[in-house]
Amino acid sequence: MVKETSRIVSLLPSATEIVCALGLEASLVGVTHECDYPQSVVDKPRLTASKISHERMTSAEIDHAVRSQLDGHGSIYDLDEELLRILKPDLIITQELCDVCAVSYKRVERAARMLEIDVRVVSLEPHTIEDIFMNIHTVAGLTGREAVAREVVRRLRGRLEAVSAALAGVTRRPRTLMLEWLEPAFAPGHWVPEQVSIAGGDPGFGRAGLPSRTTTAEEIRAYAPEVIVLIPCGYYKEDILRQLPGARLPEGWNDLPAVRAGQVWATDATSYFSRPGPRVVEGAEILARILHPEVFGQPGDHEAVRVHPELMRA
């Protein structure tokens, strides 16, 4: 077991956030091109690059490019193996959960074997909020930060319990559609349905602990969501609003109860819903403000924004 690790490479934005939450930012010698929180990590050496551009490609084009790369057993990420060698990490944190989320585990493992030092490669595989908390403990156990992890997780659990307690007397649970991709439409999985449930919504349109999946216009119409929150993986609010005019949403979109009621929201998916790190708790808190403003108050514009009908087309 590695203790008091002095040189950590994180190949996951969520792992970067966990490392920093444990007070180990000074030990972080390398990150990914997507690591942007906390802000102080953005100047650290970047070991990855994406072959796909969120800025230049539409939602449908990105989906096609990802499927084409992965179906051909390729990767949508480049890994700077020479820089990895130069950085000489003691610990590399990565994942096997999703080839769309990070450099493939096999490639990282292969690169690690070529290093001239003893390095441990650890894969984090969270499927639920509880798994995320366990990942915090795992990283802490590898780095001698167990006591810090216990306090971090205690505070995170307390915040979720506070949301649940505030909703104890609330019986209305709006049918909530969390859209994890725009075109094609993706139904949520993993920890997102749990976030919906904690925030006082109906989590029925999703599969807690399981991967997200493509869905259909028929399924969405049958569910008749009262609130829609757009959380396409890896997007910030600004990305969503920029992508929407070019995305063809599911047929019948404009007739959905949520759309007619002006209850379509965009939020920072990459900060609060896509990344399995400490900020999933903040995601649940933001969602509670969207679903139950009578209890928690309206979300601030920095947290979530209503989507103007003119930006959406089916």
So what's the pLDDT on residue 158?
98
- Report the alpha-carbon distance of residue 170 to residue 247 in Å, rounded: 36
So what's the pLDDT on residue 136?
98
pLDDT digits (tens, 9 = 90+) for 247-304: 999 999 999 999 999 999 999 999 999 999 999 999 999 999 999 999 999 999 999 9
- Report the alpha-carbon distance of residue 149 to residue 238 in Å, rounded: 33
Contact between residue 107 and residue 79 where contact means Cβ atoms under 8 Å apart:
yes
Q: 103, exposed or middle or buried, with CB in 10 Å at 0-12, 13-18, 19+?
A: buried
Is pLDDT of 129 > 80? yes
pLDDT digits (tens, 9 = 90+) for 176-234: 999 999 999 999 999 999 999 999 999 999 999 999 999 999 999 999 999 999 999 88
Contact between residue 154 and residue 141 where contact means Cβ atoms under 8 Å apart:
no
Is pLDDT of 171 > 60? yes
Identity of the residue numbered 42: V
The overall pTM is greater than 0.75: yes
Task: Tally DSSP H helices, then E strands, for the chain.
Answer: 13, 14
Using DSSP, state whether 28 is helix, strand or coil: strand
* Assigned token pair, 122: 């650890």
So what's the pLDDT on residue 86?
92
* Assigned token pair, 106: 């096999």
Domains of the chain as residue ranges with CATH: 8-150 (3.40.50.1980), 169-311 (3.40.50.1980)
Is pLDDT of 314 > 80? no
Identity of the residue numbered 55: E
Is pLDDT of 66 > 70? no
Q: 238, exposed or middle or buried, with CB in 10 Å at 0-12, 13-18, 19+?
A: exposed
Question: Across the chain, what does the average pLDDT equal?
Answer: 89
pLDDT digits (tens, 9 = 90+) for 74-127: 566 788 889 999 999 999 998 775 555 556 556 666 666 666 567 888 888 899
Is pLDDT of 71 > 80? no
